[in-house]
């Protein structure tokens, strides 16, 4: 939550003005209560003690620190999801430990495991019954891209519902899920973390560069950045 606060004056190095400074603050507080402070002194006094923000940022801060995950596990990743409430990771530090048994009391759905085609409608119904606003974390390779069980019986979560954060791994450690939860919290703050291409200057290393084929704006140019070979495919 963004706040604005004026920094207080710092005493010179080697001086002990704590008692004197405390006495000055007491006198200024007394003058403020009496109404003896001038306009400039009163404005400075208020700026040093009042935190200001917007209602939207305050609501986002409250939501991001009070998520209620649904008590819902799909497969082996659910064991790792259960571990985040233990003493080692201690998700309670961020206010996420209250797992709710009813989707009507939850606003976070963690897809922890592989998703079969028969299970997808059930998951979608649970998601539709959750509180608004709601968020989804696809935990593990199976929920993100069907993982090692890439066959006709499984489907990735992106195919039938919106996913806010993907946590890679098979299975991901509890620390990795905790990292994904913190990433989600940054998104709820409307201050998402910068992507790795911007952080490390990786712009221009994309595998697919659209609109680079002269005379064919609908074509895409697929470039293999490892071997240098390329091919042109129609849109």
Mean pLDDT, the chain, whole residue set: 75
Q: Where are the beta strands (DSSP E) in the chain?
A: 108-112, 135-139, 165-167, 208-210, 220-223, 230-233
Residue 222 has pLDDT above 50, yes or no: no
Q: What is the pLDDT of residue 20?
A: 59
The CATH number given to 66-188 is 3.40.50.12280
Q: What is the pLDDT of residue 235?
A: 37
pLDDT tens track for 140-184: 888 888 888 888 888 888 888 888 889 988 888 989 999 988 888
Asked if 177 contacts 149 with a C-beta cutoff of 8 angstroms, the reply is no
CA-CA distance, 218 to 171, in Å (whole number)? 39
User: What are 231's strand-pairing partners?
Assistant: 222
CA-CA distance, 59 to 19, in Å (whole number)? 39
Q: What is the pLDDT of residue 49?
A: 65
CA-CA distance, 132 to 135, in Å (whole number)? 9
Phi/psi region, residue 60 (left: phi>0; alpha: psi -120 to 50; beta: rest), is alpha
Between 213 and 132, residue with greater pLDDT: 132
HSE, side-chain direction, 13 A CA sphere, residue 142: 23
Task: Go through 139-164 and write b for each residue having 16 or more CB atoms within 10 A of its CB, e for each that does not.
Answer: bbbbbbebbeeeeeebbbbeeebebb
Q: What is the pLDDT of residue 126?
A: 92
Q: Where are the beta strands (DSSP E) in 61-149?
A: 108-112, 135-139
Between 65 and 231, residue with greater pLDDT: 65
Closest C-alpha to 114, from 60, 171, 62, 48: 171
Residue 122 pLDDT class (50, 70, 90 cuts): very high
pTM of the prediction? 0.63
- Tell me which residue has tokens 């209560």: 33
Closest C-alpha to 70, from 118, 148, 122, 116: 122
Q: Find the range with the poorest average confidence among 70-79, 170-179, 189-198.
A: 189-198
Residue 90 pLDDT class (50, 70, 90 cuts): confident
Q: What is the pLDDT of residue 2?
A: 54
Q: Where are the domains of the chain?
A: 19-47, 66-188, 205-235
């Amino acid at each position: 939550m963004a706040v604005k606060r004026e920094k207080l004056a710092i005493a010179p190095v080697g001086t002990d003005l704590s008692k004197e400074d405390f006495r000055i603050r007491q006198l200024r507080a007394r003058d403020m209560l009496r109404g003896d402070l001038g306009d400039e002194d009163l404005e400075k006094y208020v700026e040093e003690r009042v935190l200001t923000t917007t209602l939207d940022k305050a609501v986002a801060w409250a939501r991001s620190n009070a998520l209620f995950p649904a008590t819902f596990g799909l497969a082996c990743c659910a064991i790792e999801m259960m571990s985040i409430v233990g003493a080692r990771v201690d998700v309670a530090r961020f206010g996420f430990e209250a797992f709710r048994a009813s989707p009507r009391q939850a606003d976070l759905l963690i897809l922890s495991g592989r998703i079969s085609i028969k299970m997808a409608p059930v998951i979608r119904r649970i998601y539709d019954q959750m509180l608004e606003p709601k968020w989804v974390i696809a935990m593990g390779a199976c929920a993100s891209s069907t993982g090692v069980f890439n066959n006709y019986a499984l489907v990735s979560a992106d195919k039938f519902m919106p996913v806010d954060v993907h946590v890679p791994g098979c299975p991901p450690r509890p620390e990795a899920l905790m990292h994904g939860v913190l990433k989600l919290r940054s998104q709820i703050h409307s201050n998402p973390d910068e992507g790795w291409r911007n952080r490390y200057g990786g712009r221009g290393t994309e595998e697919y560069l659209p609109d680079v084929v002269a005379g064919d704006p609908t074509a895409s140019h697929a470039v293999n950045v490892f071997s240098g070979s390329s091919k042109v495919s129609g849109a």
